[in-house]
Amino acid sequence: MDQKNVWIGTNWKMNKGPAEAIAAARALATFRPPEGIRCFLTPPATSLRDVCSVLEGSPMMVGAQNMFWEDSGAWTGEISGPMVVECGASTVLLGHSERRQHFGETDWTVNLKVHAALRHGLRPLICIGDTLDEFEAGVSQETLARQTKIALHGVSPEDLERVVVIYEPVWAIGSAGRPAEAPFVSGIHTELRSVVREIAGESGVRIPLLYGGSVSQANICDYVVLPDVDGVLAGRGGWDPADFMKLVACVSELVSAKVDA
């Protein structure tokens, strides 16, 4: 970890309808993360507008979990960038492995969505990840490089400054997953850093690279101290507002030590 911001987010997935989401957002509304920590959460689409209203003016960034690349039209069941913006969100998660696995997202549809998000002023939080088969075959780096290069294909140098890339091994996500070991994540992120530098040139050093997959209070610091890890995305570990604030507390000491240094 260096003096860059540390990002800590939680993806609520298909949890918390409006009533529960409003209650959770209220619990976070007065929370002020320490300097150097940037927090975000992604509620389900049906709770997005309420959560954005409750958290208006708070440092907590709110994002959608997905969006379509067209702005409007005959796309039953989809939500568009302008709709996400109108709800008050500033960011959007794209290419989460659950969407790739269960809803047919491909590297190229993720790329279309990245462009659409940027066009509407949303910050894309781009998820990439290797499956267990790819991990066991030793091709994680190749998979991640391909996913990253395609997701960012055609993105202008100025827009590259607004993207965040999140490495989430598919085998590490959810209650059946096991958290990736920090030395492995370190190697992956070093390589990812060279991939984004290849794409973005020197400004690639400023693209935040996050880790996600069974992040908890017990392991968050192991990841955040790694040189090319700029933060984490938690699922279960951050759903409860009290737990989310504890995740932030776990790293705040590390961050303040760095800021004071």
Q: Supply the residues annotated as catalytic.
A: 96, 168
Q: Using the rule CB under 6 A, give the single segment among 75-83, 150-158, 180-188, 228-236 that binds ligand PGA.
A: 228-236
Nearest residue to 166 (alpha-carbon basis) of 232, 210, 114, 206: 210
Eight-state DSSP code of residue 73: S
Q: What CA–CA distance (Å, rounded) separates 101 from 104? A: 6
Give the footprint of ligand PGA on residues 151-180 (CB under 6 A): 168, 173-174, 177
* Least Å from the CB of residue 176 to ligand PGA: 9
Q: What CA–CA distance (Å, rounded) separates 55 from 244? A: 15
Q: If binding is defined by CB under 6 A, does position 237 make contact with ligand PGA?
A: yes
* Least Å from the CB of residue 173 to ligand PGA: 4
Task: Please say which residue, 199 or 224, places its beta carbon nearer to ligand PGA.
Answer: 224
Q: If binding is defined by CB under 6 A, does position 213 make contact with ligand PGA?
A: yes
Q: Which of 236, 246, 256, 258 binds ligand PGA (CB under 6 A)?
A: 236
Contact 82, 72 (CB under 8 A): yes
Task: Please say which residue, 89 or 180, places its beta carbon nearer to ligand PGA.
Answer: 180
- CB proximity list for 15: less than 8 A, separation 6 or greater: 44, 239
Q: If binding is defined by CB under 6 A, does position 51 make contact with ligand PGA?
A: no
Nearest residue to 94 (alpha-carbon basis) of 121, 72, 123: 123
Q: If binding is defined by CB under 6 A, does position 252 make contact with ligand PGA?
A: no
Q: What CA–CA distance (Å, rounded) separates 226 from 30? A: 30
Chain position whose Cβ is nearest to ligand PGA: 235
Exposed, middle or buried: residue 129 (CB in 10 Å: 0-12, 13-18, 19+)?
buried
Q: If binding is defined by CB under 6 A, does position 235 make contact with ligand PGA?
A: yes
* Least Å from the CB of residue 157 to ligand PGA: 28
Contact 1, 252 (CB under 8 A): no
Eight-state DSSP code of residue 203: G
* Least Å from the CB of residue 129 to ligand PGA: 9
Contact 37, 253 (CB under 8 A): no
Nearest residue to 89 (alpha-carbon basis) of 119, 47, 128: 47
Q: If binding is defined by CB under 6 A, does position 215 make contact with ligand PGA?
A: yes
State whether residue 172 is helix, strand or coil. helix
Task: Please say which residue, 155 or 233, places its beta carbon nearer to ligand PGA.
Answer: 233
Tokens of 250: 């776990």
Q: Which of 11, 80, 111, 140 binds ligand PGA (CB under 6 A)?
A: 11
Task: Please say which residue, 69 or 167, places its beta carbon nearer to ligand PGA.
Answer: 167
Tokens of 126: 């781009």
Task: Please say which residue, 217 or 256, places its beta carbon nearer to ligand PGA.
Answer: 217
Q: If binding is defined by CB under 6 A, does position 130 make contact with ligand PGA?
A: no
Q: If binding is defined by CB under 6 A, does position 226 make contact with ligand PGA?
A: no
Residues in touch with ligand PGA (CB under 6 A): 11, 168, 173-174, 177, 212-215, 233-237
